[in-house]
Amino acid sequence: GYRIRPVHPGEADILGEPTYAKLEAIPDRVDIVNVFRRSEHIPEIVESAIRIGARCLWLQEGVTHAEAERRAREAGLFVVSDLCILKEHARRFPR
Distance CA 27, CA 29 (A): 7
Using pLDDT thresholds of 50, 70 and 90, give the confidence band for residue 1: confident
Distance CA 2, CA 54 (A): 14
Using pLDDT thresholds of 50, 70 and 90, give the confidence band for residue 75: very high
Distance CA 43, CA 47 (A): 6
pLDDT digits (tens, 9 = 90+) for 13-44: 999 999 999 999 999 999 999 999 999 999 99
What pLDDT was estimated at residue 86?
94
Q: What are the boundaries of each domain within the chain?
A: 13-83
What pLDDT was estimated at residue 40?
96
Using pLDDT thresholds of 50, 70 and 90, give the confidence band for residue 9: confident
Per-residue pLDDT, averaged over 55-68, amounts to: 98
Query: What's the predicted TM-score (pTM) here?
Result: 0.91
- CATH architecture type of domain 13-83: 3-Layer(aba) Sandwich (3.40)
Q: Is 52 helix (H, G, I), strand (E, B) or coil?
A: helix
